[in-house]
Amino acid sequence: MSAHPQHPAHIIRSDAEAIEVATRLAERFAVEASARDRDRRLPVAELDEFSGSGLWGITVPKAYGGAGVSYVTVAEVIKRISAADPSLGQIPQNHLGVVDLLLQTGTEEQKRYYFGKVLAGYRFGNAFSEAKSKNAGTFDTQIRFNGDTAQINGEKFYCTGALFAHIVPTAGNNEQGQAFIGFVERDAPGLSVIDNWDGFGQRTTASGGVTLDGVNVPLSAVIPAHLAFDKPTADGPISQIIQAAVDTGIALGALEQAKIHARQARPWIDSQLDHGWQDPFTIAAIGDLQWRVHGTEAILAKAGIAVDQALAEPNEDSVAHASLVVAQAKVLSAETALLASSKLFELAGTRSVTAKHNLDRFWRNARTHTLHDPARWKYHLIGNFVLNGVKPARHAWN
Amino acid sequence: MTALTLARQLLDSTRLHVQKSDDPYVISRFGDLQIRVDVAAALLERADSHPSPVAATEAQIAAAEALIAASNAEFELTGQRTALPSTLDDPLRRKYQIVGNYHLNGVL
């Protein structure tokens, strides 16, 4: 992978254009989504088309030449792409998170430089998470400052998108345990991206390892990412709403297939009916799935509004509110995606599990992606505010 | 009184009864109820402007389920149960059929 895009990206100018482009791309991405999953064929050409469409630049603020779209729109875009192929929907997640981290913690010069790159079609990957650190929020990777450069050393995992990126934002802690992010060029000496993601779901996200062996970046390529959480900003909710949008997309895709295949199912012997689609229990089960999917979409849109408010007026209350509504979207999207992708088989019958349909990809993708952070702690987060008045902790998972 | 209004009232009275808690199971129970109430409210709002002929029925299901969950939580956490209005003339079980038949078969 080169450190530069082959062609400059289109620049999207409005929310409506973003939705229109996403709808068109989703239709194209849906055609070979099953084959990509089955063969674990990495979506290299599809990503060029995706970022080249301008959709990876829609959150760049208007002041920097972007469309600065609403997060209702961002969620809708990711949802539509993910309904077609949730691996493609997940890959820009960290890119979009980094765009906001730049906005929150970058210098004016850094914003101009990197937002310009994003609008030109550069893709950010990520080397944030670590499989061996104490918990998801801690880094063993070190960043050490020396004059006008910084050096990064460490080992990362779950690095979604790094393999396909032009620039790999990499998180490391300084001596005081504060997190900084260095923007590492994809071909920088010492950076190795390892294609070793073999999870049973989200198979083509390339969410594998990255090693950093004495990687040097200039100070101009480092941002004090910890500031995005030291003070109240929308960054945590932004990171999370994209996760929720991916799972909402999986739920939509699974329900769509459930309807198609349930209508083709044979009638059960005891029903005395002529067609599977007349089955009263199937009909009611679809009714149950349908309201849950619509409810999830409605809360996802509300989460987008809450994120917009937190971005416009960041303070303890607006950021807490955004975290709370986004947490609702997380819970609902995770549960609905898992339910729809499992019920699909129950309603469609044994013929739906044959390999040619590859319908298990919906459940495999839902189960894998919803492990990003556990929904059980989102019930707690919301309840702790409702009952005890405790605001959510600020980090990239809230 | 609508099912959603009553669900909200039960959530609120149960919260006032419990006051505060550091029990993770009690805390998360309130998270669950709040989500159910808010998703019902969001679907009700959606039904106001959405052209789907079953959008209002979907909101009614969400509200009815929120009310049942709130009533169960009230009983579990306070030891009392507020009587719920009868739904014999408008049973919840039919609503899933109405929504499902429209979305699966295009039949109203």
Same domain, residue pair A187 and A315: no
A290 interaction partners in chain B (CB closer than 8 Å): 58, 99-100, 103
Give residue A3's pLDDT.
82
The pLDDT assigned to A19 comes to 98
Q: Do A384 and A310 reside in the same domain of the chain?
A: yes
Which of A255, A379, A391 should we substitute to test contact with B (largest number of B Cβ atoms within 10 Å)? A379
- Could you tell me which chain B residue has the CA closest to the CA of A281? B97
CA-to-CA separations, B52 to A83, A276, B57, B62, B108, in angstroms, rounded: 21, 24, 10, 16, 11
* pLDDT over 90, % of chain A: 96
Residue A395 covered by a domain: no
- ipTM for the whole complex: 0.98
Q: Are residues A35 and A149 in the same domain?
A: no
In angstroms, the separation between the Cα of residue B6 and the nearest Cα of chain A is: 17
Residues A203 and A269 placed together within one structural domain of the fold? no
**Confidence band, pLDDT 50/70/90 cuts, at residue A184:** very high
The CATH number assigned to the domain holding B101 equals 1.20.140.10
Mean pLDDT computed over every residue of chain A: 96
Q: How many domains does chain A have?
A: 3
Q: Which residues of A touch B47 (CB under 8 A)?
A: none
pLDDT tens digits along A346-365: 999 999 999 999 999 999 99
Residue A115 lies in a domain: yes
A364 and A235 inside one domain: yes
Binary contact (B97, A263; C-beta < 8 A): no
- Contact list, B29 vs chain A (CB under 8 Å): 379, 383
Check A295 against B42: CB less than 8 A apart. yes
Contact with chain A for residue B30, Cβ under 8 A? yes
- Statement to judge: residues A213 and A359 lie in one domain: no
A327/A239 same-domain check? yes
Amino acid at A390: V
| Of A208, A226, A244, the domain-final residue | A226
Distance from CA of A184 to the nearest CA of B (A): 40
Domain enclosing residue B61, as ranges: 3-105
What distance in Å separates residue A257's CA from the closest CA in chain B? 11
Answer whether A295 sits within 8 Å of B58, measured CB to CB. yes
Helix H, strand E, coil C: the string for A40-102 is CCCCHHHHHHHHHCCHHHCCCCHHHCCCCCCHHHHHHHHHHHHHHCHHHHHCCHHHHHHHHHH
Chain A residues close to B30, C-beta within 8 Å: 382-383, 386-387
Pair A158, A292 in one domain: no
Domain boundary among A226, A256, A277: A226
Q: Tell me the residue range of the domain where A202 lies.
A: 142-226
Query: How does pLDDT run across A109-166, given as a tens digit for each residue?
Result: 999 999 999 999 999 999 999 999 899 888 999 999 999 999 999 999 999 999 999 9
Of A18-32, A94-108, A121-135, A290-304, minimum mean pLDDT range: A121-135
Nearest to B61 by CA among A257, A284, A375: A284
- The CATH number given to whatever domain includes residue A87 is 1.10.540.10
Does A195 reside within a domain? Answer: yes
Same domain? A216 vs A235:
no
Nearest alpha carbon to residue B37 among B81, B73, B87:
B73
DSSP per residue, A187-208: T-TTEEEE-----SSSTTS---
Taking only the tens place, the pLDDT of each residue in A57-114 is 999 999 999 999 999 999 999 999 999 999 999 999 999 999 999 999 999 999 999 9
Q: Does residue A70 lie in a domain region? A: yes
Residue A204 has pLDDT above 70, yes or no: yes
Check residue B1 and give its pLDDT: 83
| pLDDT over 80 (residue B107) | yes
The answer on pLDDT for A1 being more than 80 is no
Same domain? A189 vs A322: no
Whether A59 and A160 share a structural domain: no
In a domain, A127, yes or no: no
Q: What's the average model confidence in pLDDT over A198-213?
A: 95
Instruction: Count the domains in chain B.
Output: 1
CATH number for A197: 2.40.110.10
